[in-house]
Amino acid sequence: MTHTIQYEVGNDGIAILTIDLPGKPMNVLAPEFLADLETLTDRVSSDDAVQGAVLTSGKKSFIAGADILDISTVYDRGLSPIEAAGFSRDMNRQLRKLETCGKPFAAAINGLALGGGLEICLACHYRVLANEPGVVIGFPEVNIGLLPGGGGTQRLPRLIGTEKALPLILQGKNIQPEQALELGIVHELAPAQEVVERAKQWLLESGDPVAPWDKKYFKVPGGAGAMTPKNAQTFMVGTSLIVGKTQNNYPAPIAAMSAVYEGCITPIDAGLDIESQYFGTLLAGPVARNMMRSLFINKGAADKLVRRPEGIEKSKVSKLGILGAGMMGAGIAYVSAKAGMEVVLLDTSIDNAEQGKAYSANLLKKAIERKRSTKAKAKALLSLIKPTTDYNDLEGCDLVIEAVFESADLKADVTAKTEAVVPESCVFASNTSTLPITGLAEASKRPDQFIGLHFFSPVDRMPLVEVILGEKTKDEAIARSLDYIQQIRKTPIVVNDSRGFYTSRVFGTSTNEGIMMLAEGVKPALVENIAKKAGLPVGPLAVTDEVTLELAYKIGKETAQAMGKQYPADKGQEAIRKMVEDLDRKGKRFGAGFYDYPADAKKNLWPGLAEEFPSSDEQPPVDELIKRLLYIQSLETARCFEEGVITHPEDGDIGSIFGWGFPPWTGGTLSLIDTVGIREFVAECDRMAQAYGPRFAVSDWLRDRAQKNLSFY
Helix axis angle, 268-283 relative to 152-160, nearest 10°? 130
Average pLDDT of span 98-105: 98
**Is residue 93 within 8 Å of residue 42, measured between CB atoms?**
no
Paired strand residues for 53: 15, 105
Average pLDDT of span 334-338: 98
How buried is 314 (Cβ within 10 angstroms: 0-12 exposed, 13-18 middle, 19+ buried)? exposed
Q: Is the pLDDT of residue 404 over 90?
A: yes
For residues 101 and 95, give the distance between their C-alpha atoms in angstroms, rounded to a whole number. 10
For residues 268 and 528, give the distance between their C-alpha atoms in angstroms, rounded to a whole number. 45
For residues 470 and 473, give the distance between their C-alpha atoms in angstroms, rounded to a whole number. 5
* 219 shares a domain with 187: yes
Quick one: pLDDT at residue 567? Answer: 59
325 occurs within a structural domain:
yes
For residues 573 and 569, give the distance between their C-alpha atoms in angstroms, rounded to a whole number. 6
693 occurs within a structural domain:
no
Of residues 563, 516, 530, 501, the one with CA closest to residue 663: 530
Torsion of CA 450, 453, 454, 455, to 10 degrees: -150
Task: Check if 454 is active-site.
Answer: yes
Structure confidence by residue, pLDDT tens digits, 262-281: 999 999 999 999 999 999 99
Quick one: pLDDT at residue 551? Answer: 82
Continuous H helices in 247-295: 251-263, 268-283, 286-291
* 408 shares a domain with 272: no
Please list, in sequence order, all residues whose beta carbon lies within 8 angstroms of the beta carbon of residue 168, skipping any fewer than 6 positions away: 138, 139, 156, 175
Please list, in sequence order, all residues whose beta carbon lies within 8 angstroms of the beta carbon of residue 17, skipping any fewer than 6 positions away: 5, 6, 7, 37, 40, 44, 53, 54, 55, 56
Average pLDDT of span 333-347: 98
Residue 458: asked if its preceding bond is cis (omega within 30°), the reply is yes
pTM: 0.92
677 occurs within a structural domain:
no
| Domain around 175 | 5-207+215-284
Which CATH number covers residue 382? 3.40.50.720
Q: Is the pLDDT of residue 568 over 80?
A: no
* 193 shares a domain with 135: yes
Mean predicted lDDT score pLDDT of the chain: 95
Quick one: pLDDT at residue 569? Answer: 64
* 382 shares a domain with 279: no
CA dist 403 → 36, 142, 158, 323, 508 (Å):
55, 37, 54, 6, 20
Phi first, then psi: what are they for 139, rounded to 5°?
A: -115, 90
For residues 498 and 640, give the distance between their C-alpha atoms in angstroms, rounded to a whole number. 9
**Is residue 18 within 8 Å of residue 58, measured between CB atoms?**
yes
Q: How does residue 674 score in pLDDT terms, banded at 50, 70 and 90? A: very high
Q: Is the pLDDT of residue 557 over 80?
A: no
Torsion of CA 221, 227, 228, 229, to 10 degrees: 140
* 464 shares a domain with 425: yes
Quick one: pLDDT at residue 227? Answer: 66
Q: How does residue 295 score in pLDDT terms, banded at 50, 70 and 90? A: very high
Quick one: pLDDT at residue 562? Answer: 67
15 occurs within a structural domain:
yes
Half-sphere exposure (Cβ direction) of 478: Cα atoms closer than 13 Å: 20
Q: Is the pLDDT of residue 645 over 70?
A: yes
Average pLDDT of span 210-237: 84
For residues 227 and 219, give the distance between their C-alpha atoms in angstroms, rounded to a whole number. 11
* 455 shares a domain with 411: yes
Quick one: pLDDT at residue 677? Answer: 97
* 258 shares a domain with 329: no
Amino acid at 659: G
Structure confidence by residue, pLDDT tens digits, 224-263: 876 677 777 777 777 778 878 888 899 999 999 999 999 9
* 382 shares a domain with 278: no
Phi first, then psi: what are they for 30, rounded to 5°?
A: -70, 150
Classify residue 225 as left (phi > 0), alpha (psi -120 to 50) or beta: left
Q: Give the domain-ending residue among 499, 522, 549.
A: 499
Q: Which of 3, 125, 454, 648 is catalytic?
A: 454
* 531 shares a domain with 382: no
Out of 232-236, 415-419, 635-639, pick the least confident.
232-236
291 occurs within a structural domain:
no
Quick one: pLDDT at residue 289? Answer: 97
* 268 shares a domain with 156: yes
**Is residue 148 within 8 Å of residue 58, measured between CB atoms?**
no
Q: Give the domain-ending residue among 605, 621, 637.
A: 621
Q: Is the pLDDT of residue 166 over 90?
A: yes
* 463 shares a domain with 589: no
For residues 109 and 118, give the distance between their C-alpha atoms in angstroms, rounded to a whole number. 9
570 occurs within a structural domain:
yes
Quick one: pLDDT at residue 236? Answer: 76
Quick one: pLDDT at residue 516? Answer: 96
228 occurs within a structural domain:
yes
Half-sphere exposure (Cβ direction) of 209: Cα atoms closer than 13 Å: 15
Q: How does residue 538 score in pLDDT terms, banded at 50, 70 and 90? A: very high
339 occurs within a structural domain:
yes
Structure confidence by residue, pLDDT tens digits, 29-62: 999 999 999 999 999 999 999 999 999 999 999 9
Which CATH number covers residue 548? 1.10.1040.50
Q: Give the domain-ending residue among 482, 499, 516.
A: 499
Average pLDDT of span 20-31: 92
> What's the structural domain count of the chain?
3
Quick one: pLDDT at residue 566? Answer: 62
Which CATH number covers residue 125? 3.90.226.10
Structure confidence by residue, pLDDT tens digits, 422-447: 999 999 999 998 889 999 999 999 99
* 605 shares a domain with 488: no
For residues 260 and 248, give the distance between their C-alpha atoms in angstroms, rounded to a whole number. 19
- Which residue pairs, CB below 8 angstroms and at least 24 apart, start in 682-687? 682/706, 684/627, 684/631, 685/631, 685/635
